[in-house]
Structure 1
Amino acid sequence: MKQQKGFTLIELAIVLAIIGIILGAILKGQELINNAKAKRLLNDVKGWATLEYTFYDRYGRFAGDGDGDGLIDAGAFATSQANFGANYIPPTSALLTPTTAYQNSDFDAPVATLEAAQLLPAAQNAPQRRTNVTNAFNGITYPASVYIDNVGTFNVIAVKNIPCFAAKVIDSNIDGSIGANVGYVREIDNTGALTGNNTWSCDANNNEQQLVSLVYFFDKRPN
């Protein structure tokens, strides 16, 4: 009877070491991809603010400020990405005048206004509009305004449904430190209300992949 030969301990150790190296490379590669996406999102957030200021320089108001009162009128937070374009507004010159009446529930308006000013690619349908607001993590980033009880309304760049680690990258780069309820970057819930917590919600269960949302007070911030 022919005797079967198994792996020696040295051979098994080599195989395990190779598997470990491969897994390490995969994890490192994923980490590099995530970091690249987070940096891209950070640049996109700053880019949206730059677009708003560029529009302001041209027209004396922010894109989405239909009545010229200094506040972005359109900005519904409790809406999904799929609803961008639901009230599709073709980019026309009428959007560039401060007398244009916007629906407060139609958060297409600020994006459509930037398109009309040729600061964003003009969307011809709802999918193209959603492409203009989709970020690196398949969440959404767009100009809006947020009301804070007993404080007032503030212009923001809203970023919804991104991994918590990416939110912290934005927070630390813009504010210089990580804090969910201080500075220009703050965590919000699905209704657009500030959470009021000093730590990010993902810290409670130590899950950096947890999806969170934030606002960047690009114009002025609450105290």
Structure 2
Amino acid sequence: MFSAEFLLTSLVVVLIPGTGVIFTVSIGLMHGRLASLYASLGCTLGIVPHLLATILGLAAIMHTSAIAFQVLKYAGVAYLLYLAVATWRDRSAFSVQEVRQKGDTASLMIKAFLLNILNPKLTIFFLAFLPQFVATDAQSSLEPLLGLSAIFMVMTFVVFVIYGQLAHAFRAVVINSPKVQSWLRRSFAAAFAGLGLQLALTER
């Protein structure tokens, strides 16, 4: 079930920088190692609703319904643009201490969760990608589908954690340079806006 083709393809998909990676890297730079870990967990948990949608057949409905797809797509676009504006307007210095308070960690996880749950392409990905690796002679597709999804989620979490830790390793350089902070903040804002525009222009 866990073929080399599935593992390799999943790894490539996870490694490609997207909204989750950019968010996790920005959190690792601004708030530290622990915060990036919570961001990685939130992004990973954001996969669960898409998995449930696929299992329940909702993904097929969204794939055939232009209205359902557009509603979810533009909700994602709006959220990405909100993150872009919030990041651009934030003029506070990057925090030296890691996020530890429950309220802060919950807020980070919710933001990361929303990033993935509002991504309609992820649901389509589950609908088109995972079933290809389920054996046609399987008595039930539920168990192998859950197994493949679990592997994909573990890979997502591990890769995102690595991205966050690498970002944390460069914090000293960032914190000691206000110019670098300003450049990074604008770059992250532009990246969120660009991803939002890209999502707005994509079709099913």
Same fold (TM over 0.5): no
Report which of the two structures shows the higher radius of gyration computed on alpha carbons: 1
TM-score by length of 2: 0.31
Higher strand share: 1
Larger RCO (alpha carbons 8 Å, 6+ apart) = 2
